[in-house]
Amino acid sequence: MITRESVRGIYPVEPLGEVVQFLDHKRRPVKQSERVEGLYPYFGANGQQGTIDDYIFDEPLVLVAEDGGHFDAPERGIAYQIEGKTWVNNHAHVLRPNSKIDIRFLTRVLENYDVRPFISGTTRAKLTKGQASRIEIPLPPLEEQRRIAAILDQADALRRLRRRALDRLNTLGQAIFHEMFGAFHDGFEGWPTQTLADVIVDAKIGAVRGSKDMSDEAPVPYLRMNSIGIDGSLRLSGLKRVEASDTELEIYSLRKGDFLFNTRNSRELVGKTAVVHQDFDGIYNNNILRCRFSKMRVNADFIDSFLRTRKGRSSLDNVKSGTTSVFAIYQKSLMTLLIPCPPMKKQQEFSKQLERLKAEEEATRISNEKAQCLFASLQHRAFRGSL
């Protein structure tokens, strides 16, 4: 993240309005229902939003989010470069750099800029043209700008490669599952079935704790539903902490091989699942159901992957209930789900392959984090003049 302080180094600083021309008067929004798909990219606050059959701009430009941008998380990006025949809606400022600044350098300065000091609006954050014009931009000589941009381009290419590798690994587990057991588009691929109740030997809803019970100083980590990723990842670090008795620790602790099911959330997120791959000396929240399966019938990795198939997701959709904002999958309904039961030896082989894959994912994740840190460090050094 780049701040006003981090650009105040050895280089002169000028407001953005002095180094670019705003072309906002040329942009035009088109409702999705009225947009005709075509050959030309249609851009908004956070990137391309589709295509359109006409264009407004035909030159290299920089777009900066006006509203709807990632202002509270600038590391996700609030600016990006476009070129060629394009159309831009009214949610992004359109900047044409003048002769003082290189376009790649400008993009690198703005892409992760913390613009919160320039934001207005209470219900919807907005970076007005007037406020955007005040953003401070460092101005080394043009040749130095190009050198800095080239270095950051190389570092960015490295972190993108790491991210793509991690994304591929994240999908590989499901691909292995499909190869071994089938895709489960509609049926159960000929495997025998049982209900979830038939294969579970223990199921327990977690312990209730309110926000007033949580602190960073309490002794026991408290796992909540936001630690279960939509992709099945499980974050066991950086958790809120609570008080818990020895009895609660015995009842609500997690051990390797446990299966976690998120029972209450939004309609899209309810039913998130994860498998515990290391013992956890803490307790878990009452929006999570912990399941332990019969070791003779199914294992957690197999069930987790099955519930990510189209058949699995459809089965979960059929037992969701709730209002517009909160949905639940009740334990009683969940237990009626039909589950395929291939031979246990085949399921165990899948788990072994998944374990090897998880080790590779962890190594790639660490490499990805290092690439992210390297890029952030280079950004700060570059714009302060110490690169």
Q: Return the pLDDT at 361.
A: 87
151, 256: one domain: no
pLDDT at 122: 65
Would you give per-residue pLDDT tens digits along the chain (387 residues)? 888 888 888 999 999 999 999 999 999 999 988 999 999 999 999 999 999 999 999 999 999 999 999 999 998 999 999 999 999 999 999 999 999 999 999 999 999 999 999 998 767 789 999 999 999 999 999 999 999 999 999 999 998 999 899 888 888 999 999 999 999 998 999 999 999 999 999 999 999 999 999 998 999 999 999 999 998 999 988 899 999 999 999 999 999 999 999 999 999 999 999 999 989 999 999 999 999 999 899 999 999 999 999 999 999 999 999 977 899 999 999 999 999 999 999 999 999 999 999 899 889 989 988 988 998 899 889 888 888
Same domain membership, residue 63 and residue 92: yes
Query: What CATH number is given to the structural domain containing 159?
Result: 1.10.287
At residue 105, the pLDDT reads 97
- Same domain for 358 and 326? no
152 and 270 fall within a common domain: no
| Domain total of the chain | 3
At 307 the pLDDT is 96
Question: Cβ(103)–Cβ(86) under 8 Å?
Answer: no
**What is the C-alpha to C-alpha distance for residues 225 and 164, in angstroms, rounded to an integer?**
26
Query: Quick one: 35 and 125 in the same domain?
Result: yes
CA 338 from chain centre, in angstroms, equals 31
Q: Is the domain of 311 the same as that of 322?
A: yes
Residue 186 inside a domain? The answer is no
Q: Can you give the residue range of the structural domain that contains 162?
A: 140-180+344-387
Q: Same structural domain for residues 199 and 98?
A: no
At 317, list the tokens. Answer: 């959709």
Considering the domain architecture, whether residues 126 and 258 belong to the same structural domain is answered as no
323 shares its domain with 383? no
Q: Are 84 and 96 part of one and the same domain?
A: yes
77 belongs to a structural domain: yes
What predicted TM-score, i.e. pTM, was given to this entire model? Answer: 0.71
Asked, for residue 367, whether it belongs to a domain, the answer is yes
